[in-house]
Amino acid sequence: MAVLDFSEQDLVGNNFDGDNLNGSTFFKATLTDVSFVGTLLRGTNFEETSWLNVNASNANFRPNTNFPTTNLFKATLENVNLSGANLREANLSEISTNGIDLSNAKLQDANLFKAELSGEQENRPNLTGANFSRANLTEANLKAADLTDAIFTDANLQGASFEANIIVNTNFTGVDFTGVSFTDNNLNNSIFDKANLSGVQWTDTLPVGGQTSTNSSFRGADLTNFSAEDVNLGGADFRDFDANTKTILDGISLADSVLNGANFTDVSAEGIFLENADLTDAIFNGADLSNANLNNAILTGASFTGGVELDNAFLEGVDLGGVDLTGADLTGAKLKGANLAGADLTGVNLSGADLTEVNLTGAQLDDANLQDAILEKANLTNAILSDGEDPDTIGADLSGISFVDGIAVNGDFMNALLIDANLSKADFTGANLNGADLTGANLTDTILPGNTII
């Protein structure tokens, strides 16, 4: 078909199904009940057109060498069906839509700058299965859109708005979210790997359909100064993407969030803020959590093996009962009032840590380093602080500790170092102090087992 000019015409009910309209122009035309099903529309000019009840499903708008520019700049689209349409590389900047259907549309490399793809929850824009890879969605508005199975790989979403969206099985790999507003969304099984989420704030994000976890992936993402409030990130995967693409968690705040089952294996998350977070069954194996704040976090079933770094971390009031912290670095950590009953702290470095009023009943502390730690009013009943499997024959090092008013009933301190320790008013009834070094210890009003020789 020859190139046609419909500029500023009022087209009602026209049927162009399967026609070749490549290179035609509809500049400022009004299209009502028009059909473009399967139509060739490469390089067609729809600038400032007005579409109402138009069906352009499976139409091909993609420009090519002969028809290099497909233009829908500032077009207004109401109740328009573009499902399955090929809009690759098309200019859709500043379009305005209502009731748009872009399901399974191809929008790779398209320009959607300031595009209005928004709606309300009762009339959601349908973007399910659409492919926006490498598209420019800067400052686009996607409020309430259904993004199930949509692909945004390497797209630019700077300044875009996400509110009340359905985000299920959506792929945001490599996306730039700088300045994005993200609130009241339903999220499940989506991918944010290698995305730039630095400085972004999420609020009120929950799983779909009453599920308990959102199970999304953030591997290799930049989450510098990312913050979340009342967000469910249960089952999230924060591991490094690969050896060259690390997950960046500097300054991240996830306070009060649900992170049950989240995977932080081997991540570097110095200073991460997790106060009051639900970290049930979370995995922190080998992670660097130096200076982290986990005060009053729920850590039931959490895993901290592999030499976790928790030096100078805030862990006040946490329940780590029965947790395996073998070989962890807790130098200078603040653990006041924490529960570590039955925890495995073999070889742990707790030097200078604040363990005031901590429950260490039955804890395994053989070969642990507690030099200069504060254990005032701590409970070490049945705790084991004797020599473990290391090459020497020395038990735990408690040199210089303050154990004032502490309880160590039936504790095992065989060959432990208690040099210069303040043990005043401590209760060692039934404890094993055989071979323990109490040189310089303060034993004022200390209750020692009957067979102890000082």
Rounded CA separation 323/340 (Å): 8
Structure tokens at 390: 């290391």
Does residue 22 lie in a domain region? yes
Rounded CA separation 385/18 (Å): 82
pLDDT score at 181: 87
pLDDT tens per residue, range 407-424:
999 999 999 999 999 999
pLDDT tens per residue, range 134-153:
999 999 999 999 999 999 99
pLDDT score at 175: 97
- Cα→Cα distances 262→215, 238, 257, 416, Å: 8, 7, 11, 37
Dihedral (CA of 106, 73, 137, 215) sign = negative
pLDDT score at 384: 96
Structure tokens at 106: 């191809």
Residue range 337-344: average pLDDT?
Answer: 96
* pLDDT at residue 81 greater than cutoff 60: yes
Q: How confident is the model at residue 307 (pLDDT cuts 50, 70, 90)?
A: very high
The three-state secondary structure class of 210 is helix
pLDDT score at 389: 65
* Residue 326 or 2, more confident: 326
Q: What is the pTM of this model?
A: 0.91
The separation between CA 259 and the C-alpha centre of its own chain, rounded to angstroms, equals 8
pLDDT tens per residue, range 91-122:
999 999 999 999 999 999 999 999 999 999 99
* pLDDT at residue 432 greater than cutoff 90: yes
Does residue 419 lie in a domain region? no
Q: How confident is the model at residue 209 (pLDDT cuts 50, 70, 90)?
A: confident
* pLDDT at residue 453 greater than cutoff 70: no
pLDDT score at 451: 60
pLDDT score at 22: 97
Does residue 324 lie in a domain region? no
- What total number of domains does the chain contain? 1
Here the CATH number for the domain that contains residue 166 is 2.160.20.80
Q: What percent of the chain has pLDDT over 90?
A: 94
**What secondary structure does DSSP assign to 415-442, as a single string?**
T-B-TT-B-TT-B-TT-B-TT-B-TT-B
Does residue 213 lie in a domain region? no
pLDDT score at 452: 58
Residue 409 backbone zone (phi > 0: left; psi -120 to 50: alpha; other: beta): beta
The whole-chain average pLDDT of the chain stands at 95
Residue-number span of the structural domain to which 87 is assigned: 1-171
Does residue 318 lie in a domain region? no
Rounded CA separation 429/424 (Å): 14
Q: Angle at CA 262, nearest 5°, toward 256 and 148?
A: 95
Q: How confident is the model at residue 425 (pLDDT cuts 50, 70, 90)?
A: very high
* Cross-strand partners of 181: 161, 201
Does residue 442 lie in a domain region? no
Q: How confident is the model at residue 211 (pLDDT cuts 50, 70, 90)?
A: confident
Does residue 325 lie in a domain region? no
pLDDT score at 392: 63
Give the start-end residues of each E strand in 170-246.
181-183, 186-188, 201-203, 227-229
Q: How confident is the model at residue 128 (pLDDT cuts 50, 70, 90)?
A: very high
pLDDT score at 437: 95
* pLDDT at residue 324 greater than cutoff 60: yes
Residue range 196-211: average pLDDT?
Answer: 92
Residue range 252-281: average pLDDT?
Answer: 95
* pLDDT at residue 169 greater than cutoff 70: yes
Does residue 199 lie in a domain region? no
